[in-house]
Amino acid sequence: MALNIRGLQKRYGGFVVDVDFFVADGETLVLAGPSGCGKTTVLNLIAGFVEEDAGSILLDGKPVHQLPSWKRNVSVVFQDLALFPHLNVGNNVGYGPFIRGISRGKRRNMVEDALKTVRLSGYAKRRVHTLSGGERQRVAIARALATEPKALLLDEPFSSLDAPLRRELRKEFREIGAKSPAPRIFVTHDREEAAVLGDRIALMSAGRILETGSARELFLAPKTEFGARFFGAGSVFPCTVTGETPEGRSIVSPLGPLLVKRGETYNPEKPLIFIPRDALSPARGPAGEAENPVLMSVLFKQGVFEGERVILEAEAPGGIPLQASGGLRTELPPKNSPVKWRLDQGLIRFVLPS
């Protein structure tokens, strides 16, 4: 039941959504990007809530873009959930099969299976207003699954929940997804959520997908300036390519002369480099596996705790901001103290301007 999007376009005045992508059976593709980039429009086009101006939507190899939304067998979980307050849980979950004329007995089995999948067995008679936020979210997902959809679309469904509950539901969603053969598209602007949920992540800006990859690839080696600034865990700097060596390309950057590995492509008119946080570390002890390490003097500014890690912030000469990643037990030097950091040149990458 793969989902194939070919040249799908929608125009709103001067703003154009224009996307191509493929989602395999049982795969979760995360559409990530800033607000207003067109993510929700893509979901509405696939679901049939908005009519496309061009392009095609193929589900299981069959075109569905000319079918009305109710004939596409595509389920959507909205940000506001849109549960029916006057119906109990079972009738909410069974609404889709009911509309499709499925018999009461089969419908009951479909509801029970869907509630079991989201760990809400025995909740069919419960009223929606008696449920917690997490339970309501599970009901919305169960309702989407009950129709045995050919594709499942989710539009930032966890955004209104508190952080601990979001983390819990993200884990559960991955487990639920493993039980469903339907291709899934999950829309979010949250980088952590995209990394946890996506088998692949498509980064979207101004109506277009600029690059696609795994969370690891986009964190550590984004290919575009947009990917590096929006998703990458590091910093982008302009540079000048000065020559070639057997080891790589010599460059001059705001951090001084550096070396970028061979094989990296760049735009000669606007060469840019991406330095991931993992390429920088306090210079204590041996360099280990660092490739062509460079030792630099920086002014330590602060450590910012971010979940289960700490982001070390410093300034290179000239006030150039730098970041490195550390564990929770990383020893922090005094603020505004001069320290030595090591740069692993083997992790520097060129990125293409967006």
Sketch out the chain's domains with CATH numbers: 3-224 (3.40.50.300), 234-351 (2.40.50.100)
Average pLDDT over residues 71-84: 85
Identify the band that residue 268 occupies on the pLDDT scale cut at 50, 70 and 90: very high
pTM value is 0.88
Which helix (DSSP H) or strand (DSSP E) does residue 45 occupy?
Answer: helix 39-47
Q: Average pLDDT of 64-68?
A: 92
Q: For residue range 216-227, list pLDDT tens digits in order.
A: 999 999 999 999
Considering the chain, what is the average pLDDT of its residues?
90
pLDDT of 287 strictly over 80: no
Structure tokens that stand for 264 in this block: 């990296």
CB 232 within 8 A of CB 278: no
Q: Are 201 and 181 in contact (CB under 8 A)?
A: no
Answer whether residue 285 shows pLDDT above 70: no
Instruction: Inform me whether the pLDDT recorded for 100 exceeds 90.
Output: no
- pLDDT band per the 50, 70, 90 thresholds, residue 37: very high
So what's the pLDDT on residue 38?
95
pLDDT band at 92 (very low <50, low <70, confident <90, very high): very high
Give per-residue pLDDT as tens, 153-171.
Answer: 999 888 777 777 788 788 8
Secondary structure of 164-198 in HEC code, one letter for each residue: HHHHHHHHHHHHHHCCCCCCEEEEECCHHHHHHHC
Core vs surface per residue 1-30: b (16+ CB within 10 A) or e: bbbbbeebebeeeeeebbbebebeebbbbb
Q: Is 287 exposed, middle or buried (0-12, 13-18, 19+ CB in 10 A)?
A: middle
Under the banding of pLDDT at 50, 70 and 90, the label for residue 8 is: very high
What CA–CA distance (Å, rounded) separates 216 from 50?
Answer: 34
* Amino acid sitting at position 182: A
Q: Cα-Cα-Cα-Cα dihedral of 138, 144, 146, 152, to 10°? A: -120
Give residue 5's pLDDT. 97
Report the pLDDT value the prediction gives residue 173, as an integer from 0 to 100: 82
Q: 335, exposed or middle or buried, with CB in 10 Å at 0-12, 13-18, 19+?
A: exposed
Q: Can you tell me the mean pLDDT for 280-294?
A: 76
How far apart, in whole angstroms, are the C-alpha atoms of residue 221 and residue 329? Answer: 26
Nearest-angstrom CA–CA distance, 110 and 105? 9
In Å, what is the CA distance from 3 to each residue of 28, 32, 174? 11, 18, 19
Cβ atoms of 315 and 265 within 8 Å: the answer is: no
Is 91 in a helix, a strand, or coil? helix
Strands 3-12 and 54-59: antiparallel
Q: What is the pLDDT of residue 289?
A: 65
